[in-house]
């Protein structure tokens, strides 16, 4: 009986947290309007969230593309279809790997940094201090970061995808001898803007929304101690990664399922 | 016939009531880590008069900081009223609460300076957020506030480059940036060296007098606080156990007051945390 009671309490606490997360989202979305008059706040965060994530996105994009090129070539060459390597690399990146891997990297790099920053601001009473100065910390601190994350994520995914394609090209054409024209022309013929590219963009927009929301909420809801902030940062990476993979399945099923 | 100007002005301008903060039957509980409600205040009554320096003192963990947060509207009481400048804080909507907070300043124990901004930007922060003053005027005002706390020369430093005492002085400059009617100080003397402590004591007294502020100091530093306070409330176990001027409290015969003022290790606030008798525990399983 006691165990059931504990289970119910835990379940209740999970739902309560979900509710708090949604109220937090409404609050931060409510703060978006004020950003129109203060674009500088968003630009600073775009630099911090987006530009600082560029290195890991660029390097990972190139390597993922190169690995795709190698693996794809080894499979396709058995069927004499190595000239379709460009299509394989591009479709894999545009539809799946670009948005998903970029979102996972974004969660690890920018998401954890956002959580730690907001959590530490809470632990050092900076958020309370703002409240007492009659400044809403959600509007002043959280909303600009959310908008910056929401804008950055699709751009980072696009950069990841483009560099991945070039990584694949570098392995396929100069190293493995795949025909240059075939690599690009097949890609051009088979990759559809609406079915592939647009769906990839939609995925990265959803991931950007979800990952940034989770990261900011975890920071804002963190227990204001060093242990609390550390736990919140870990939760951000775990929850955001799982959310990305879960949403990826749902979106893929909706986009390409039938 | 129209009345003379002074008479008309006198009619419109109601004299502000003497009482700035009025707390009645305040009860407050918060949730412990295990989810159990912990009762912190049992019907507290407290009055703070304009222009005075009022100290709220008591042992650690008695809820002194919580009381400041209740006055500032950051926490909601279980029951009772908290009136600040005639406004009932717990019933205010967000807009009115924020408008009231513009007339309050708060100095946090940690300083709560924004770590990604310089000293200058920290003090300019409330001015930039709440006014449309031109940048040249913001600069002059910030320099005036920093000059008042003796840190005009430190305007370009980052908070990480400041000592604890300097950080509190910058936070004080920021707290008075909007010329508030009152400033709440949360443990201003904790962890300060004697010089910083002397500087802070001097600043609190001087600012209160020259800016006609009302100051609420939460502290457990008896000597320093008693030296500058006009009136003292002593809290323990959720109740006001002593009140009066520092002189009155020094002569108070109550065991609570004596233990706190003289720093005795045992008394109404016991040395041992509540537990079963020691012999029982040793002899039992």
ipTM score assigned to the predicted complex: 0.82
Residue with the larger pLDDT of the pair A2 and B147: B147
Report the gap between the CA of B111 and the closest CA in chain A (Å). 8
Residue A32 lies in a domain: no
Q: Using CA coordinates, name the residue in chain B closest to A134.
A: B98
Residue A22 lies in a domain: no
Confidence of residue B266 (pLDDT cuts 50, 70, 90): confident
A26 touches chain B (CB under 8 A): no
Q: How many CB atoms lie within 10 A of CB A227?
A: 9
Q: Which of residues 107-136 of A touch B (CB under 8 A)?
A: 121, 124-126, 128-129, 131-136
Residue A9 lies in a domain: no
Q: Find, among B186, B231, B190, B203, the residue nearest to B71 by Cα.
A: B186
Domain count, chain A: 1
Confidence of residue B5 (pLDDT cuts 50, 70, 90): very low
DSSP A177-195: ---HHHHHHHHHHH--III
Interchain CB distance below 8 Å, A133 and B101: yes
Residue A256 lies in a domain: no
Residue A6 lies in a domain: no
Residue A158 lies in a domain: yes
pLDDT tens by residue, A206-242: 999 999 999 999 999 999 999 999 999 999 999 999 9
Whether this prediction's pTM lies above 0.95 is answered by no
Range of the domain at A82: 43-251
Report the gap between the CA of B226 and the closest CA in chain A (Å). 26
> What residues of B are in contact with residue A132 (Cβ under 8 Å)?
72, 74, 101, 104-106, 108
pLDDT tens by residue, B103-152: 999 999 888 999 999 999 999 999 999 999 999 999 999 999 999 999 99
DSSP B50-101: TT-EEEEE-STTSSHHHHHHHHTTSS--SEEEEEETTEEGGG--HHHHHHHH
B98 touches chain A (CB under 8 A): yes
Buried b (16+ CB within 10 A) or exposed e, B46-58: bbbebebbbbbbb
Report the gap between the CA of A138 and the closest CA in chain B (Å). 13
Q: Which of residues 207-236 of A touch B (CB under 8 A)?
A: none
Average model confidence (pLDDT) across chain A: 94
Q: How many CB atoms lie within 10 A of CB B158?
A: 14
> What residues of A are in contact with residue B35 (Cβ under 8 Å)?
9
Residue A36 lies in a domain: no
Residue A37 lies in a domain: no
Which among B35, B112, B174 has the least Cβ separation from residue A128? B112
């Amino acid at each position: 009986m006691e165990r059931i009671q504990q289970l119910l309490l835990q379940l209740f606490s999970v739902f309560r947290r979900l509710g708090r997360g949604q109220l937090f989202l409404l609050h931060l979305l409510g703060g978006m309007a004020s950003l129109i008059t203060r674009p500088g706040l968003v630009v600073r965060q775009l630099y911090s969230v987006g530009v600082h994530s560029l290195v890991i996105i660029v390097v990972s994009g190139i390597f993922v593309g190169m690995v795709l090129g190698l693996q794809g070539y080894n499979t396709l060459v058995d069927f004499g279809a190595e000239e379709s390597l460009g299509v394989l690399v591009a479709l894999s990146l545009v539809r799946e790997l670009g948005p998903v891997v970029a979102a996972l990297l974004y969660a690890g790099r920018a998401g954890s940094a956002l959580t730690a920053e907001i959590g530490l601001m809470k632990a050092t009473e900076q958020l309370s201090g703002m409240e007492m100065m009659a400044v809403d910390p959600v509007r002043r601190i959280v909303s600009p970061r959310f908008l910056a994350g929401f804008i950055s994520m699709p751009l980072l995914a696009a950069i990841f995808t483009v560099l991945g394609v070039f990584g694949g090209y570098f392995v396929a054409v100069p190293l493995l001898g795949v025909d240059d024209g075939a690599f690009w022309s097949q890609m051009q013929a088979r990759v559809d803007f609406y079915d592939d590219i647009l769906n990839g963009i939609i995925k990265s927009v959803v991931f950007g929304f979800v990952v940034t929301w989770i990261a900011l909420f975890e920071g804002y809801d963190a227990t204001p101690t060093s242990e609390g902030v550390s736990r919140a940062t870990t939760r951000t990476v775990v929850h955001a990664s799982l959310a990305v993979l879960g949403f990826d399945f749902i979106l893929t099923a909706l986009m390409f399922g039938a | 016939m129209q009345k003379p100007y002074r008479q008309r002005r006198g009619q419109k301008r109601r004299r502000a009531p003497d009482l700035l903060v009025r707390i009645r039957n305040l009860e407050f509980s918060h949730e412990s880590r295990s989810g159990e409600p912990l009762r912190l205040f049992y019907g507290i009554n407290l009055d703070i008069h304009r222009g005075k320096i009022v100290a709220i003192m008591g042992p650690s963990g008695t809820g002194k900081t919580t009381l400041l947060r209740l006055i500032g509207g950051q926490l909601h009481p279980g029951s009772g009223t908290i009136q600040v400048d005639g406004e009932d804080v717990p019933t205010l909507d967000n807009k009115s609460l924020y408008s009231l907070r513009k007339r309050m300043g708060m100095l946090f124990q940690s300083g709560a300076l924004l770590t990604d901004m310089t000293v200058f930007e920290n003090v300019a922060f409330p001015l930039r957020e709440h006014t449309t003053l031109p940048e040249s005027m913001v600069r002059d005002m910030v320099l005036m506030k920093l000059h008042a706390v003796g840190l005009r020369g430190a305007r370009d430093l980052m908070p990480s480059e400041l000592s604890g005492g300097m950080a509190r002085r910058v936070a004080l400059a920021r707290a008075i940036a909007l010329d508030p009617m009152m400033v709440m100080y949360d443990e201003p003397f904790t962890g300060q060296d004697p010089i910083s402590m002397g500087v802070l004591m001097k600043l609190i007294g001087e600012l209160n007098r020259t800016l006609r502020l009302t100051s609420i100091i939460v502290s457990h530093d008896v000597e320093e606080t008693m030296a500058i306070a006009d009136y003292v409330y002593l809290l323990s176990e959720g109740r006001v156990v002593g009140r009066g001027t520092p002189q009155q409290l020094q002569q108070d015969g109550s065991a609570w007051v004596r233990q706190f003022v003289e720093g005795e290790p045992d008394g109404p606030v016991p040395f041992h945390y509540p537990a079963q008798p020691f012999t029982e525990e040793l002899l039992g399983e």
